[in-house]
Chains A and B, each alone.
Chain A
């Protein structure tokens, strides 16, 4: 059944989009991520313009992370004060990202920037995750205990001033790296149409030593609010959010996420991280391939304005 998307200006098969929402939702529920880094490329692949895809996916991520955030809230697994500090800088990052998005679109370099950033981010993060989970797996085989968090071990981040105590996470760190991470995630999210959960979780663990109990819930609150504001800002400045597309994606996404979460809970954490790492890395390679291989068409047309 075809449905016409009013902003993307094209008809799509409603069941195809629903299936995409379900699949990505399943993956996002399984790994506790928003799934934007998979959804945006998929939408571009079915012919939706990168600009509309990025803008519309933000609202889809908002929906799926809200579901996640509510269930983590019930489990009291959210560090609200940490989330708020991240957000203070995150909103600024989002605004800067939406601004850069507009500028790049005008310069005809948006698609390239999205492509290059995906390659860099995804291959790096993917490789790190694979490495880390393989190491953990090997340690587990040798019977050594997992040493994710080493109490007392401090890195340079802990030497910074303006320290603050985050009670729920039981950490005492400077707000400077917290703001830095928040700004970066908000910025990347708005430019690339990703929630940034797959970046934020490792950053919170490795730089701030946030315990696993609160890290995913806190990351979800952060993603939820940056993506909600990205939706509003993209709609207000670029007029590119396709509400019909977003609605179909959301419905599929939230349903898929429920089943994904169920599957994810039955898997070992290291195995789950390895799978996610492989997935992230593979998507990164796919983008690298597109950039390097000669495109089918060297020419492309874009609407500048409707007279």
Chain B
């Protein structure tokens, strides 16, 4: 739709510290503000970037890997598990996931574990299996092992709802140093500020990283209605009730037979 429309040219550049062979990333997002309007059915943002030598005569390496992590506003979610009790299915157990991303996309040019080893993936929180998801178990706070059933099912449900994703073909290298990342935003994308974290790898090591941000906002009428319902609940309720009565009355006027 508007994916390639106005390219807001805000360029964020970051430099790595290593002096001998150093690169920097220059990235630009197609749109920094996504407006959720009444006809919003999801969209796709595009991030373009190049790998530049840090110093004029510094050399570039032969091949690079890129991992982009897009993180939405944090929420606390509860995952519930059903079990059969007296013949019917009841929620018997639940875990709260504290301050986890409401939206999470991990996009790379090939599978994460082909880019780095598992230790580095955990340390850098690369990929859905390695990201820290804090759970509350009773009074304890912990990120449990990655094959914990609540964690596995939580990620699965979020993937099904299109809020979490891991795509090993989400990054395309157009030339060895120019890349494009497609960031899909589904129709039910949460509103708020998103961070886009871009990490560059070569030979299994992270060389440099940069980040940028985008904002998803409800706009126009949707924004107005949502704000009203959250902050002025009573007035909102009275207005809705009045609307119901108006429509009910209007119908009798339009369809009056006698």
Q: Which residues of A contact B (CB under 8 A)?
A: 1-4, 6-7, 9-11, 59-60, 62-67, 70-71, 74, 108-109, 111-112, 116, 228-229, 231-237, 239, 241, 243-244, 246-247, 250-251, 254-255, 257-258, 291-292, 294-295, 297-307
Q: How far is the CA of A261 from the CA of B73 in the complex (A)?
A: 49
Say yes or no: A241 contacts B244, CB within 8 Å: no
Question: Which of B89, B96, B240, B241 has the most CB atoms of chain A within a 10 A radius of its CB?
Answer: B240
Which of A2, A65, A116, A235 lies in contact with B240, CB distance below 8 A?
A235
| Chain B residues, Cβ within 8 Å of A6 | 218, 221-223, 225-226, 229
Say yes or no: A241 contacts B89, CB within 8 Å: no
Say yes or no: A250 contacts B247, CB within 8 Å: yes
| Chain A residues, Cβ within 8 Å of B138 | none
Say yes or no: A302 contacts B229, CB within 8 Å: no
Q: How far apart are B128's CB and chain A's nearest CB, in angstroms?
A: 15
Q: Which residues of B contact A (CB under 8 A)?
A: 36-41, 73-84, 87-91, 94, 96, 99, 102, 150, 153-154, 156-158, 161, 187-188, 190, 192, 218, 221-223, 225-226, 229-230, 233-234, 236-241, 243-245, 247-252, 255, 258
| Chain B residues, Cβ within 8 Å of A63 | 244-245, 247-248, 251
Say yes or no: A295 contacts B82, CB within 8 Å: yes
Which of A4, A66, A232, A239 lies in contact with B37, CB distance below 8 A?
A4
Say yes or no: A74 contacts B245, CB within 8 Å: no
| Chain B residues, Cβ within 8 Å of A301 | 77-80, 154, 157-158, 161
Which of A1, A60, A70, A74 lies in contact with B249, CB distance below 8 A?
A70
A to B CB contacts below 8 Å, 7 in the list: A10-B187, A11-B187, A63-B251, A239-B229, A298-B83, A299-B153, A305-B75
Q: How far apart are A242's CB and chain B's nearest CB, in angstroms?
A: 8
Q: How far apart are B59's CB and chain A's nearest CB, in angstroms?
A: 45
Q: How far is the CA of A236 from the CA of B83 in the complex (A)?
A: 34
Question: Which of B37, B74, B188, B239 has the most CB atoms of chain A within a 10 A radius of its CB?
Answer: B188
A304 and B225 in contact (CB under 8 A), knowing A62-B245, A235-B237? no
| Chain B residues, Cβ within 8 Å of A65 | 248
Say yes or no: A4 contacts B78, CB within 8 Å: no
Q: How far is the CA of A233 from the CA of B236 in the complex (A)?
A: 10
Q: How far is the CA of A6 from the CA of B240 in the complex (A)?
A: 14
Which of B91, B192, B238 lies in contact with A232, CB distance below 8 A?
B238
| Chain B residues, Cβ within 8 Å of A247 | 243, 247
| Chain B residues, Cβ within 8 Å of A112 | 88, 90-91
Say yes or no: B89 contacts A291, CB within 8 Å: yes
A2 and B41 in contact (CB under 8 A), knowing A59-B241, A239-B230, A300-B157? yes
Nearest B residue (CB) for A254: B251
Say yes or no: A303 contacts B77, CB within 8 Å: yes
Nearest B residue (CB) for A66: B248
| Chain A residues, Cβ within 8 Å of B158 | 301
Say yes or no: A302 contacts B78, CB within 8 Å: yes
Nearest A residue (CB) for B84: A294
Which of A59, A70, A71, A236 lies in contact with B233, CB distance below 8 A?
A236
A241 and B39 in contact (CB under 8 A), knowing A62-B244, A300-B80, A307-B76? no
Nearest B residue (CB) for A8: B188
Which of B76, B229, B250 lies in contact with A305, CB distance below 8 A?
B76
Say yes or no: A62 contacts B89, CB within 8 Å: no
- 14 extra A-B contacts, CB within 8 A, seeds A254-B248, A301-B154, A307-B99: A4-B40, A64-B248, A66-B245, A66-B249, A108-B78, A232-B238, A234-B237, A243-B229, A243-B243, A250-B247, A295-B89, A298-B82, A300-B80, A306-B73
Q: Which 7 A-B pairs have the closest CB atoms?
A: A235-B237, A66-B248, A254-B251, A232-B237, A299-B153, A63-B244, A62-B244
